[in-house]
Structure 1
Amino acid sequence: MINNIFFIIFPILLYQMFGALGKRNFFVSHRVTLTILFSISIILCMVFPYQIMTDQYIFDLRQVPMIVGALYGGPLVSAILFLVSAVGRIAIGGDGMYIAILNQFVVALGVPFLRPLYMRINRLEKVGLVFVVSILSLSFNAVAGYFLFGDPFHDVVGIWLMLMLNQGAIISLAALLIEHILRQEYLLSSLVKHEKLETVSNFAASVSHELRNPIQSIKGFVQLMKEHEYSRDKQLEFYDTMLSEIKAADQLIEDYLVFAKPVFAKLETVSVKTEVEHVVKVLKPFASWQKVEIQLLKNGGDAHILADRQKFHQALINIIRNGIEAMPAGGTFKIQIKQSASKVAIILMDEGIGMSKEEVQRLGEPYFSTKSKGTGLGMMVAYSIVRQMNGEIGVHSEKGKGTVFNVEFPLV
């Protein structure tokens, strides 16, 4: 009996190992392959029976792959499996051959009509249905054998009941296994689809978030020029800054079209002090609008690092902008540059609402933000850029006392 069970489970496990993912119908994509495998199961079950009732009458579990194949594969698969089982039974011979072939014919003819119902019901109902079909099939076998061929029945009724329960249990197990495989494949398919949708969502949110930074800067300069009269030289300086931000936005679009990890277009030796001053100038209109003063503290030395200038600006802008937004009542945002023997640290200090230790640990995760409408993608991009420039970000924060970012880079 163990051999018969193995012969039945074998093709189902092969399907799980090598079948395509996300297919809800057991036979749709691999109907030919699974028909061949179930045919092999039928032949092996007949060649290695596990119950001999008389010298000429044997019992095996060939009906299990026949019934399962008919329910999941439909009439064509059922017909092929019937031909295989009939030819195999004729080859074995014996007095029970005719009743066996008649029984197989009835199963192959009648079970496919139950397929529409079978595919609509739930898992437990399917198990109950295959169990009932199995019992009816063996009951037909016993009754037809008794009335049509005079086979003994009363003397072996106990054995028949045991065989019915055995086959019913095995076919129920096979149906449960198939349904479990289909459920896992469906869930995996849904997960893959969800991940694709989430990737698209992340992409769209990240693009909009990153483009907002240069657009806000441009908006700030336009508002200043609208509300105040500036000299021609000052206006030209504003125009140059706005053009620079437009170029930055264009570069961001090119980066996200590639949709890959940040790729540095050109690594060059840059002055940390000069680039930080440029970032401060870009963010001053936005900070002024938020009633925040940006103070660049006196720094010792002029450290140089190897960086992509635009990416470096992008990372600092994301961090500083978050710090400014963390001060809804206004305040002072301080920036200090400290140089050691091998590293340079850019210290960014705000007087905002601060964060808990748990929130600090989750910084850099997508979709984690302390802001009600934040996406967390700005910090994710900043962390990614700093890491790929061989830098590190340390964060110290307390609720109600503000946050300090310590961004370190190796010196050239």
Structure 2
Amino acid sequence: MEAMMTGMINNIFFIIFPIILYQMFATAGQRNFFVSHRTTMTVLFSISIILCMVFPYQFLTEDYIFDLRQVPMIVGALYGGPIVSAVLFIVSAVGRIAIGGDGMYIAILNQLLVAAGVPFLAPLYSRVNRWWKAVLVFSISILSLLFNMFAGYFIFGDPIHNLIGIWLMLMLNQGGITILTALLIEHLQKQEYLYNSLMRHEKMETVSHFAAAVSHELRNPLQSVKGFVQLLQVYEYPRAKQLEFQQTILDEIKAAEELIDDYLIYAKPVYGEMKHLEVEAELSHVIKIMSPYANARNVELLVKRGNSLSPILGDSQKFHQALVNIIRNSVEAMPDGGKLEIELETSGSSICVHIQDEGVGMTKEQVNRLGEPYFSNKSKGTGLGLMVTYSIVDQMSGEISVQSELGKGTRFTLEFPKLTK
């Protein structure tokens, strides 16, 4: 009995393991069994058939040798169709001929009937629910064993009434494993369907966020342009007033162009010349630009420059933009003023820029959503600035990490790989 259980477990392992292996290593989004990678799964099921035949087990009596080769044959025919079924039949037939024995011709004929008949049931199998699938594969397995039983009776005179208990156990054994295998594949396919549906939903949600952000941001400058053009059409303004309106129109058009440029930065690689940047010099330039903005809002900039002579690779203009976006957000997070600490740190193979404020802070959920399109902690914000910042840093092979606590402030860390001179 112990040897029988060991052999049965081995056969089950030979059948289940290739399916799990395929699921683990198949390309995400292309795991539809026998559709995306029929060749791979045919090879794996062929290996299952060979291993089951090479390592059979005695079933209840020492005179009865059994294996589960028909399980991958039945499942392969239902999911793979005629071509896969034919290949599996050839593999099993060659293996059975190599083994030989009195029951060889019955076994090959049985395998031929399975390979030829089961693919015709595939359309029906694909339409029914999972429980009817279980009934169908169980029925196919039972019919296959009944054929063997009656063929043995008519050809070799095997006494059915003496072996009916063994045959019933065989039917339950093989039928149960066939159901388990089919339901496992159905479960994996369902998981893959849910995964693909989630990916499509996320893509559509991103598109909707982008559409909302674009329409929201572009509507304001377009409405202003439209209003000034209508005024110029209806009224005769002095030349000075007309020039003022025209300048306002140009400013609004420029704002719309900058918005479009920001979206292009997010969608495409950083444009401009990628060159060696001295981070300390670039940071000094940004601090010089942002100091008046911070002073006007009663924010004190405290700079710790450190010693960073090693360059990084990036686009100077876009690097400035990324730093300006974060510094501006940090300043705006302190409506009553405070201190904004900026530190440059060199460690090992990387260069870090730390930006820490004493502002309102964020929850963990808000931190996790930073960089998403159309997510902002500001009442009139769209999240576009940080979205572009994350994109710029990523395109420079850098990383952004954020630590924040409500009421105590936020710390941004921009880490870039250091270039060796």
Given the two structures, how large is their TM-score scaled by the length of structure 1?
A: 0.67
Residues 105-129 of structure 1 show CA distances to partners (whole Å, capped at 9, x for unaligned) of 2212221111110111111111111
Q: For 2:25 and 2:365, locate their aligned partners in 1 and report how far apart those are by CA, in whole Å.
A: 44
1:243-290 per-residue CA deviation (whole Å, 9 max, x = no partner) reads 1221121122122123349979898556669779xxxxxxxxxxxxxx
**How far apart, CA to CA, are the structure 2 residues paired with 1:86 and 1:7?**
18
Q: Are the structure 2 counterparts of residues 16 and 315 from structure 1 closer, same or farther at C-alpha, using a change threshold of 3 Å?
A: closer
| 2:81 maps to which of 64, 74, 81 | 74
Alignment of 1:102-113 (within 5 A): 102-113=109-120
1:310-356: CA deviations, max 9, x gaps?
Answer: 999999999xxxxxxxxxxxxxxxx987888989x99xxxxxxxxxx
Structure 1 contact 262–385 (Cα < 8 Å) conserved? no
Distance 1:363 1:54 in 2: 64
Question: Unpaired segments of 5 or more residues in structure 1?
Answer: 277-296, 319-334, 347-356, 398-404
* RMSD after superposition: 5.2
In the alignment, is residue 129 of structure 1 matched against residue 140 of structure 2?
Answer: no
Secondary structure at the aligned position of 1:27 is classed as coil
1-structure distance, mates of 2:245, 2:322: 22
The alignment's TM-score, normalised by the length of structure 2, stands at 0.66
Q: 1:126 to 1:10 in 2, by over 3 A?
A: same
| Residue 197 in structure 1 maps to residue 200 in structure 2 | no
Contact 1:57 1:95 in 2 (8 A): no
- The Cα of 1:164 is off from its aligned counterpart by 0.9
Q: Contact 1:71–1:114 (CA<8 Å) still a contact in 2?
A: yes
Shift of 1:302: 12
Q: Is the 8 A contact 1:131 1:172 kept in 2?
A: yes
Q: Is the 8 A contact 2:38 2:80 kept in 1?
A: yes
Q: What residue in structure 2 maps to residue 185 of structure 1? A: 192
* CA–CA distance in structure 1, aligned partners of residues 301 and 15 of structure 2: 76
Q: What is the aligned partner in structure 2 of residue 171 from structure 1?
A: 178
Change beyond 3 A, Cα 1:85–1:241? same
Contact 1:20 1:29 in 2 (8 A): no
1:145 alignment partner AA: G
Shift in Å, 1:233: 3.9
- SS of 1:26's partner is coil
| 1:13-53 Cα deviation digits (max 9, x unpaired) | 22212333334742122222222221221111111111257
1:54-102 C-alpha deviation (Å, 9 max, x unpaired): 7765211011011111111112222222222122112111222222122
Corresponding residue for 1:60? 67
**Alpha-carbon deviation of 1:396?**
10
Q: Contact 2:213–2:374 at 8 Å: present in 1 too? A: no
SS of the residue 2:383 aligns to: helix
Shift in alpha-carbon separation, 1:231–1:194, aligned structure 2, 3 A:
same
- Equivalent positions of 1:172-251 (< 5 A) are 172-218=179-225, 232-251=239-258
Q: Check if 1:7 corresponds to 2:14.
A: yes
CA distance in 2, matches of 1:75, 1:273: 74
Range 34-43 or range 359-368, more displaced: 359-368
| Conserved 8 A contact 2:42-2:84 | yes
Correspondence list, 1:321-340, <5 A: none
The 5 A counterparts of 1:11-410 are 11-23=18-30, 25-52=32-59, 57-218=64-225, 232-260=239-267, 378-382=381-385
Q: Structure 1 vs Structure 2: percent identity of aligned residues? A: 60
| Separation in structure 2 between the aligned mates of residue 336 and residue 237 of structure 1, nearest angstrom | 35
Change (3 A) 1:61 1:340: closer
Letter in 2 for 1:10: F
Q: Please tell me whether the aligned partners of residues 130 and 168 of structure 1 are also in contact (alpha carbons under 8 angstroms).
A: yes
- One-letter amino acid of the structure 1 residue matched with residue 67 of structure 2: D
Query: Displacement, 1:358?
Result: 12
State the one-letter code of the partner of 1:251. E
- CA 1:250–1:85 in 2, change beyond 3 Å: closer, same or farther? same
Instruction: State the one-letter code of the partner of 1:14.
Output: L
Q: Which residue of 2 aligns with 1:280?
A: none
From the superposition, tell whether residues 215 and 43 of structure 1 become closer, same or farther in structure 2 (CA, over 3 Å).
same
Stretches of structure 2 lacking an aligned partner (at least 5 in a row): 1-7, 274-281, 303-315, 330-334, 344-355, 358-362, 394-399, 413-421
- Provide the rounded CA distance (Å) in 1 between the counterparts of 2:141 and 2:58: 17
SS in 2 for 1:259: helix
- Structure 2 counterpart of 1:252, one-letter code: L
CA spacing shift, 1:205–1:336, aligned 2, 3 Å = same
Q: Distance in 1 between matches of 2:84 and 2:73?
A: 9
Contact 1:360 1:395 in 2 (8 A): no
CA distance in 2, matches of 1:158, 1:113: 31
Secondary structure of the equivalent of 2:200? helix
The C-alpha deviation readout for 1:119-170, integer Å capped at 9, x for no partner, is 1111111111101111111112112211232123222211111111111111
1:87 & 1:381 partners in 2: Cα distance? 64
Equivalent residues of 2:265, 2:271 under 8 A apart: no
Q: 1:17 to 1:210 in 2, by over 3 A?
A: same
Q: Secondary structure at the match of 2:382?
A: helix
**CA spacing shift, 1:271–1:237, aligned 2, 3 Å:** farther
State the Cα distance separating 1:4 from its structure 2 match: 0.5
